[in-house]
Structure 1
C-alpha cells in the first residue's frame, strides 16, 4: 500500500480504381463483358467446392449434432472396463463434460448423461475441474456419481491470487504439484520456451496471470507456466492491453502501471482513481500540490525493492534513499518493469482513470480496504491521521 510510511513523517502516497475510366481513352465507355463458357465453368467449380466443403463439415460434425439434438438415450449397463483419464476443465458445463465422456467411450450417449444431471442439478453444478480416472463403457449414472465426488478429482488445483511476485507464484506451484522450484526457475530463465510476449522483455514478472488452475499429473513446470502466460494473453486481448498507446504508453509500461495499481489498493472500485494519481504524478499535474515532477512515491515499489510488504504499510527512510530504480521516492518515472502480477480489473483501470484531479490517497482500513483520495496534501494528511488511529486500535496489523 503506497499511502503509508514510518514515524519520520513521510507517506507512501505523498505521493480503388474507377472501373469505367481506368485503362481506356477519355470519353469512351467500356463495353459490357459477356460471360463466356469459362466464366460458367468457374461458377460451377466454386459451387462444387462449396458442396464438397459442406459435405466434409457434415462428416466431421455429424456426431456432435447427433449428440446435441438426438433423442438417443442409449446407456451402457456398466460397470465398464479398462481405464481412461478424463479432464474436466475450468468452466466446463454438463454438455461439454458429456461430450468429453462420450468421445472417450466412457458413456454411450450424451443424452443419457444429461438425463442424470438434469435430475440432480445441484450436484452437477458442483463438479470440480480435475483429472478423473474412469472406466470405459460405464453406466451414465455411475459416471456421474464418480464426477460429483471431489475426492476423485485428480491432478493439482492451485489458486494464484492477484498481486503475487514470480517467486511467490513459483513457491505455490511447487507446493501444489511437488515439482521442484529449480525446474520452474530453469523455464523462467528461457523466455522463448516460456513463450512470453515481446512486451515482457524476457522477464515473466507481471505476466503469470493470477487465476485458478488445474494441472494434470503428467504436466511439467513448462506446462504450468505456459498455461499462466497463455491466460495472460487471453485477458490482455479482452482488456485490451493493445490500447496502451491511447493513454500514451507502450505495453510494457502499461503492465508496470497495472502491477502498481494491483499492489496499492484492495477494492476494484478504487483502481481507476489510483491510475489517475499515477498519471497525474508522472505528467506534473501534482507539482502544485506538493509532489515533485515525475516522482510516483509509491510504497509498493519500495516493498518490491526490499522484498517486504507482506503485512507492513510502512517503508523505511533507508529504502527511500536507495538509488535503486524501484525507489519511486528518489527516481523519477516508472520503475523498470512490473512489480507483481495484476488481475484484470487493475489492467482495465489503466485505460479508465478517473478525472478528479487526485494527487494523494491512503487506505484507512486494512480490513475493508477503504481508501480515501484527495487533491490537496492538507486533506490527505487528515486521512493519514485516520489511518494512524486505525493502526493504534489494531495493534500489530500495520507492521
Structure 2
C-alpha cells in the first residue's frame, strides 16, 4: 500500500519526496643536666694551663656553660663541664655537667660589684652556700683565693666567621682589624688561644657587581611584566585596518568560544591578534551567535570586519544536509565541495565504512545496500577543498551516533517490539519519506507499526510503501507501477512483496521523524492520504480510505482548474 495506504488494485500514488581532559661526643651537649660523672660533681685541683677553647665544639655559639672566668694573677680557667676540667661548688651545687645544646642560657644574676659573694666564705671540698637561693644557681661563685672583679652585666659572644660578624653593607672598613676594639681578655684573647688573629676579611667587587646586576634584572623584569599587564588590561590590542585582501578558509569547530575562534583566525592570517577579535565580538550584539562551520574570509582584516563577515551567510561554506536525503545525494555534494571526481566519496564509503565510527548495531542485515545509510545525520557540516572524504564522513557519522545515543534508540527498541536500534532508525526513515508534513509524523509512525503487526487483516504484514521501491531502484517518482507489477519486483527493499521492514534505512531521518518513531500516536489507522498542507486524512479500513482518496482527487482537480 502506498503512502495513500492504497489497497490491492488501487492506483499508485506517492507524495513528493521531501528534499531535506648525636648523640656522639663531638655533637651538642645537653644543657641543664647533671655532670658527666652522673650526679655529684667532681673536683680536680686547678692546674695552670692555657685556657681551652671549644674542645668539643660543635661549631655553634658558646653557651654560658662554656664561658671563661679569669682569676687574678693566673691564667684563665675554663668552666665548661667538660671531662678535662670541672668546677664543683659542693655536693649540692653542680655546674652544667652535660652537653652543650648550643642554645643561649639565661642571663646570670649579678651581685653587688663590691662583694659579689656577700662576704660569705666557701671552702673547697666543703658544702658551698647557696648564694642565689637556688641549688641550680648560675654562674657559681669562685673561691676566695681566686676571686675576680665583678663581670660586666652584658654577655659578649662571638658569632663565628659564618654568623655575620658584620653585615655586608654595614659600612665597616674592609681593612679594619676586627679585634681592634675588643677589650683584652675577650674575643681577641680567645682567638689567641687558637693561634693569633683571624685573617682580615676583604669583600669581592665581583660579588657586588653580581648583586647589582641581579637587582637591576629584577627591576627590569618587574617593569616588563608590569608593561605587559598594562597592555593586556588597558592597552590597545594589535589590529589590522580595513576589510582585508585575498582569501582565507577557516574551519571553526563546534562549541568554539571567542578565544578559540580568534586563534583560528589569527593562525590563518585573517586577524592580527586574538584579543582584537574577542573585543570586536563582544562589541557586536550578535557576536555570540557565530556557529561552527567553514568560513571564507579575507586576510588581514580588521577584527570588526571579520566578525561582521562571519555573521553574514555569504561567508559560510558549509554543506547542509536536508532531512530525508539519501546517502547517494550526500556523496555527490561532498565530491563537489572537495573538487573531486564524481563517485570518489561513494567509493571511499564502500571501502572504508568499517573505519568510519559506526555503532556496533549498524549493518546487522546482509541485504543492506549501504551500511552508512541513515548515519549521515541531517545538519550543517564544514566541507571545503583540502579536506579528505573520509574525514567528512567520520564527522557526520559521529554526529549521528551521538544523536541516536541521546534519543535512546538502543533502549527503546524492545518497547516498540523491534529487534534492534537499526530497525528503529529504519522506521524513522520511512516516516520521513512517507509523511508529507511534520505535524503528521506521529500518526504516520502509528500506521507503520500497525501494518507491521502480523495479525492485521488490512495489509497482512505488508507495508506497501512506494518509497522503499524507489530506494531499491535509486529513483524518486510517484509512478512506481501497478500493484501487480510491484508484487513481481524482486528486491529485499520491495515492501509490496516482502513482509516487515526493509533491511535498513532508506534515507537520513531528521529530529522530528526520529521522535515520532520513538513516540507514535495512539490509534488503529492503517491508511492515510494528504489532501493539502493543512490536512491529512487517516483511515482504519480500506473502504474508508477509498472515500478519502476521492476527496484527494477532487482537491487536485480544483487546484488544477
Q: Could you say what secondary structure the match of 1:356 adopts?
A: coil
Query: Shift of the alpha carbon at 1:308?
Result: 2.9
1:216-227 counterparts in 2 under 5 A?
A: 216-227=384-395
Counterpart residue number, 2:465: 298
Deviations along 1:308-350, one digit per CA (max 9) or x if unpaired, are 334x276433123323222212221111111111112212222
Query: Please, which runs of 5 or more residues in structure 2 have no aligned partner?
Result: 15-231, 364-369
* Alpha-carbon offset, residue 264 of structure 1: 0.4
* 2:331 aligned residue (170, 192, 209): 170
* Residue of structure 2 in register with 1:362 after alignment: 529
What does residue 268 of structure 1 align with? Answer: 438
Relative contact order: is structure 1 or structure 2 higher (C-alpha 8 Å, sep ≥ 6)? 1
The equivalent position to 2:322 in structure 1, one of 161, 176, 195, is 161
The counterpart of 2:550, out of the listed 382, 385, 393, is 385
Would you say the 8 A contact 2:338–2:386 is kept in 1?
no
Q: Which has the higher helix share?
A: 1
CA contact (8 A) 2:450 2:524 kept: yes
Which structure has the bigger radius of gyration? 2
How far apart in 2 are the matches of 1:95 and 1:267?
41
Q: Does the 8 A contact of 2:5 with 2:526 survive in 1?
A: no
Normalised TM-score (structure 1): 0.70
Q: Please give the per-residue CA displacement for 1:219-254, whole angstroms capped at 9, x wherever unaligned.
A: 111122222111111211121211222222202211
Which residue does the alignment assign to 2:482? Answer: 316
Q: How many residues align?
A: 330
CA deviation after TM superposition for structure 1 residue 285, in Å: 5.5
Deviates more, 1:77-86 or 1:296-305: 77-86
Let me know the Cα RMSD of the aligned residues.
3.6
Superposed CA offset, 1:179-237 (max 9, x none): 22332122111222333223331711222112222213321111222221111112111
In the TM superposition, residue 263 of structure 1 has moved relative to its aligned partner by 0.3
Contact 1:171 1:181 in 2 (8 A): yes
Matches within 5 A, 1:48-197: 74-78=236-240, 86-89=250-253, 97-98=261-262, 100-101=264-265, 106=271, 108=273, 110=275, 112-122=276-286, 125=289, 129-132=293-296, 140-145=303-308, 147-148=310-311, 152-153=315-316, 156-190=317-351, 191-197=353-359
For residues 240-287 of structure 1, what are the alpha-carbon distances to aligned partners after superposition, in whole Å with 9 as ceiling and x for unaligned?
A: 211222222202211211111110013222222122111111124632
Q: Which residue of 1 aligns with 2:450?
A: 280
Q: Aligned residue for 1:3? A: 4
SS in structure 2 of the partner of residue 121 of structure 1: coil
Q: Per the alignment, do residues 351 and 151 of structure 1 end up closer, same or farther by CA in structure 2, a change over 3 Å counting?
A: closer
Is 1:349 aligned to residue 529 of structure 2? no
Q: 1:307 aligns with which of 458, 469, 474?
A: 474
1:373 match: 538
Q: Distance in 2 between matches of 1:247 and 1:72?
A: 62
> Which of 395, 408, 414 does residue 240 from structure 1 map onto?
408
Q: Distance in 1 between the 2:318 and 2:294 partners?
A: 7
* Matches for 1:9-28 after TM superposition, within 5 Å: 9-10=10-11
Aligned position for 2:383: 215
SS at match of 2:521: coil
